[in-house]
Amino acid sequence: MAVVQQLFAVVLFFVVITVSLGGILKKYEAVMKQQSLELGLYNSSDKVVILSNVNLKEIVLQQNHSSLVEFYNSYCGHCKRFAPTYKKLADELYPWRSVLRICAIDCAAEENNEICREYEIMAYPTMRYIGPHFTAGPQNYGTPLETQNLNEIKNNLAQWLVAENRTSNITNWPNFQHVTESDVDTLFEGLGSQKEYVIVVYEPENSTIGVETIINFQRWSNVQVRRVTDNEIAAKLKIDSTKYKIATIDRKGNIVPYTSSADTSKAYTETISSFLNAQHFTELPEVVSSTAANLLLLAERQHENEEIVKEVKKNKHLVYQADLEMAIRGTIFNEVSKVGEISNDRLLALQRFLAVLNRYNPLGANGKIFITKLYEYVMQFNQQLSGKDFENEVTKLESQYKPIFSANHYVGCTGSQPSTRGFTCSVWQLFHYLTVQAARTEISQDPLEILQAMHGYIKHFFGCTNCAEHFQAMATKRKIWSTPNKDDAVLWLWAAHNEVNNRLAGDSTEDPLFPKIQFPSQSSCSGCYKQPISPATMETNWDKNAVLSFLKNIHNPEYISRYGVEHEELLQPTIEKLRQKRMIGNVFSDMDMRMGMLLYVFCIGMMVIAFKLFAFKGYRKKPYGHDLLGKV
Label residues 522-531 b or e (16+ Cβ within 10 Å = b): eeebeebbee
Indicate whether 361 and 508 sit together in one domain. yes
Domain count, the chain: 4
Is there a cis peptide before residue 532, judged by omega within 30 degrees of 0? yes
Indicate whether 504 and 356 sit together in one domain. yes
Q: What is the CATH number of the domain that holds 509?
A: 1.20.120.310
Percentage above 90 pLDDT, the chain: 63
Label residues 173-189 b or e (16+ Cβ within 10 Å = b): bbebeebeeebbeebbe
What would the pLDDT profile of 399-451 be if each residue is shown by its tens digit?
999 999 999 899 999 988 878 899 999 999 999 999 999 999 989 999 999 99
Got the DSSP string for 114-150? HHHHHTT--SSSEEEEE-TT---BTTBS-EEE----H
Indicate whether 113 and 244 sit together in one domain. no
What would the pLDDT profile of 244-291 be if each residue is shown by its tens digit?
999 999 999 999 999 999 999 999 999 999 999 999 998 887 654 444
Indicate whether 461 and 373 sit together in one domain. yes
Contact 436, 551 (CB under 8 A): yes
Indicate whether 308 and 433 sit together in one domain. yes
Element (H, E) at 446: none
pLDDT above 70: residue 167: no
Question: Cβ neighbours of residue 279 under 8 Å, at least 6 residues apart?
Answer: 196, 197, 222
38/504: higher pLDDT = 504
Burial class (CB in 10 A: 0-12, 13-18, 19+), 369: middle
Helices and strands (H, E) in the chain, number of each type: 20, 11
pLDDT given at position 299: 55
Indicate whether 253 and 137 sit together in one domain. no
pLDDT given at position 293: 44
The residue segments making up the domain with residue 541 are 301-568
pLDDT given at position 203: 94
CA distance 384 to 450: 23
Indicate whether 268 and 311 sit together in one domain. no
Contact 366, 404 (CB under 8 A): yes
Indicate whether 559 and 420 sit together in one domain. yes
Q: Is residue 368 part of a domain?
A: yes
Phi, psi angles (nearest 5°) of residue 613: -75, -35
How high is the mean pLDDT of the chain?
A: 84
pLDDT given at position 615: 55
Q: What is the CATH number of the domain that holds 234?
A: 3.40.30.10
Q: Is residue 15 part of a domain?
A: no
Contact 408, 365 (CB under 8 A): no
Indicate whether 444 and 563 sit together in one domain. yes
pLDDT above 80: residue 459: yes
Look up residue 433 and give its amino acid: Y
Mean pLDDT lowest among 39-48, 50-59, 394-403: 39-48
CA distance 621 to 632: 11
Secondary structure (3-state) at 207 = coil
Indicate whether 202 and 310 sit together in one domain. no
* Total-model pTM: 0.77
pLDDT given at position 140: 77
Q: Which of 138, 166, 194 is the endpoint of a domain?
A: 166
Indicate whether 452 and 314 sit together in one domain. yes
Q: Is residue 99 part of a domain?
A: yes
Measured over the CA atoms of residue 337, residue 340, residue 341 and residue 345, the dihedral's sign is negative
Mean pLDDT lowest among 35-49, 77-91, 200-214: 35-49
Give me the mean pLDDT over the 345-374 stretch: 96
Q: Is residue 576 part of a domain?
A: no
pLDDT given at position 614: 58
Q: Is residue 580 part of a domain?
A: no
Q: Is residue 29 part of a domain?
A: no
Q: Is residue 579 part of a domain?
A: no
Percentage above 70 pLDDT, the chain: 81
Indicate whether 309 and 426 sit together in one domain. yes
Q: Is residue 68 part of a domain?
A: yes
pLDDT given at position 621: 47
Strands 143-145 and 126-130: antiparallel
CA of residue 359 relative to chain centroid, distance: 26
Phi, psi angles (nearest 5°) of residue 254: -75, 130
